[in-house]
Amino acid sequence: MRADWIGDAAQKSLVSFISEQPEFLPDEPFRFIHDYFSQHIGQWNKDLASFRGRPNLAFLEIGSFEGRSACWLLQNILTHESSRLTCIDLFEQERSQGAFDTTGLDSNQMSTEDRFDYNIQQTGASHRVEKLKGNSHDLLRSLPRSHYDFIYVDGSHIAKDVLEDGVLA
């Protein structure tokens, strides 16, 4: 859809070709552009197994980006209806390069926050997610103490910011 220089007929042919090739289409309903998380799933399955399906859990994620880890948590760990996930992120990134999409919802036209919201909605558990938009160093100070069962710190990757997030968490 971004290759307007090739002309309408070529674009239509490309859409048709990709639509007929399942290896080019996403095998899930999400709109992720980046994958910084999947490599950790094996370890998370082991480390978080004791939480799987338990009621009344409260998890906090600092740095949610497009929501890939949040979606995984909702689908694999926080599966009980009473479990909750709080996600903190700035959501200030500019529009990103997108994955090709023939469904009419082109990831290229979605902001990072739009992709996060869309992806969380796809889990069917968005009613159990609290999204907090802003700086973690400010927002963490406003959250209740000793409230969370698990805190995932993955916001800024600058050492002093990570340390501050860890201390505040």
pLDDT at position 127, please?
A: 98
- Element of type H or E holding 150: strand 150-153
Report the alpha-carbon distance of residue 67 to residue 118 in Å, rounded. 9
Q: Strand (E) positions, 8-124?
A: 58-62, 84-89
Per-residue pLDDT, 100: 39
Closest CA to 37 of 45, 28, 29: 45
Residue 122 makes CB contacts below 8 A (sequence gap 6+) with 28, 29, 30, 71
Given a cut of 70, the residues of the chain with pLDDT beneath it are: 1-4, 15-27, 93-109
Give me 16's structure tokens. Answer: 């048709």
Task: Report whether 69 contacts 154 (CB < 8 A).
Answer: yes
Phi (first) and psi of residue 51, to 5 degrees: -90, -20
Report the distance separating Cα 71 and Cα 169, nearest Å: 21
pLDDT value of position 92: 82
**CATH class entry, domain 4-168:** alpha beta
143 within 8 A of 60, measured Cβ to Cβ? yes
pLDDT at 7: 80
C-alpha torsion angle, residues 30, 90, 94, 39 (rounded to 10): -40
Report the alpha-carbon distance of residue 142 to residue 126 in Å, rounded: 22
